[in-house]
Amino acid sequence: MALPAETLSRIIQPPSLHQPVIGPCRIRTTIEDFQVEEIPAYQLSGAGEHAYLWIEKRGVSSPELVSRIIRTLGIPSKDVSLAGQKDRYAITRQYCSIPKRLAINVERLNSDEVTVISSTFHQNKLKTGHLKGNRFRLVLRSATGSFTTVEQQSVEARLNQLVESGLPNYFGPQRFGHGGNTVVDGLRFLKGKLPKDHWPENQSRTLRRLALSAVQSSIFNLVLSQRVAAGNAGLPQSGDVVIRKGGTKPYRYPDGAVTTDIVPAGPMPGPEMLAAGGDIEQMELAAMEKLGLRPQDFERYAKLTSGVRRKMLEFPSNVSVSLTDDGALEVCFDLSAGTYATTLLQEVASEVVDCGSQIAATSAESDFSSETGE
């Protein structure tokens, strides 16, 4: 099942909101060039039956981190929890929770790639989504030489603009697999056309979830790219579903309401998703039709595709830009959980070459992580 080239391009390489302020750049030239730190959703109490390990990993995916914890500490997989996934080709810091009674030998996890920085206790188990956001420190290297002070100032001005006006909350290309193959798998699976032995048995559940999520994400990107092209991605329209900038609950836009504190929310289809109305609903259905889908197709796997609304715009915070001694740009910013750093960079540079993704693509290791911290 092949996707039309134009549709696939719209999904994987959707249009940016702004013209770039610098030329082509490279990211993740080294592991040190891409650093991510989780911003937890709540403060830890220091007491309870769950141990929270604050872990730094270098060149290790989150699934591999979990596997190491299971093997080294002899812990059942159900007792190991992360709030979100983190990239492999990076230095990342994130929490992992395990039962307190099993935390005696956590120092055994320490290696050249993994360090348990600290541990504390809390009353509840860490769960996916227990995450406020991620703090990024990225080094951008010019593809043509060195950046200048003028370019540093231009990037800083653009980031401050995004703080105020927001950036398109696209899913990054890594969400969709090499050449969109994860999306194609998800479409075939939804239609019952994927062989039962397509995925390794021990990875089937994870890959099924990722493939179905890639389909939902494709529809979101198609809708958002159309809104960006129309110039109304941040302007609620009649029939829109919206979410407050600092909130999470979607609701139908009351026509004529003040729009300064709300943003449109695009579709991640499923039976529990709040439907849009009027022309907006028709546009979303048309995006689904481009993939040969109807709303009822998501009911078959309702537990995996329950449906949700995602903000079309997100707003970075704590931004800064500095020029390094070797002519690179060090860019720092915070993003809400689920927002891609590479999507932000597309609003800055004319082209972003992700050297880490190129390395991952040539590796034999399966890597299911993403930079969003989901």
Q: Could you give the CA distance from residue 346 to residue 162 in angstroms, rounded to a whole number? A: 12
Handedness of CA 333, 336, 341, 345 (dihedral sign): negative
For residue 193, CA distances in Å to 66, 188, 197 come to 32, 5, 12
Q: Could you give the CA distance from residue 24 to residue 20 in angstroms, rounded to a whole number? A: 9
C-alpha closest to that of 265 among 282, 251, 279: 251
Identify the H or E element spanning 213: helix 204-230
Has 87 been annotated as catalytic? yes
Tokens at 340, concatenated = 């891609």
Task: Count the Cβ atoms, other than its own, within 10 Å of residue 300.
Answer: 12
Tokens at 80, concatenated = 């190991």
Q: Could you give the CA distance from residue 59 to residue 88 in angstroms, rounded to a whole number? A: 5
| Distance, first Cα to last Cα, the chain | 28
* Residue 350 DSSP class: S
Q: Could you give the CA distance from residue 109 to residue 119 in angstroms, rounded to a whole number? A: 12
Between CA 356 and CA 93, with CA 13 as vertex, the angle to 5 degrees is 35
Q: Is 77 helix (H, G, I), strand (E, B) or coil?
A: helix
Q: Is 190 helix (H, G, I), strand (E, B) or coil?
A: helix
- The one catalytic residue in 33, 79, 87, 297 is 87
Catalytic residue annotation? 87
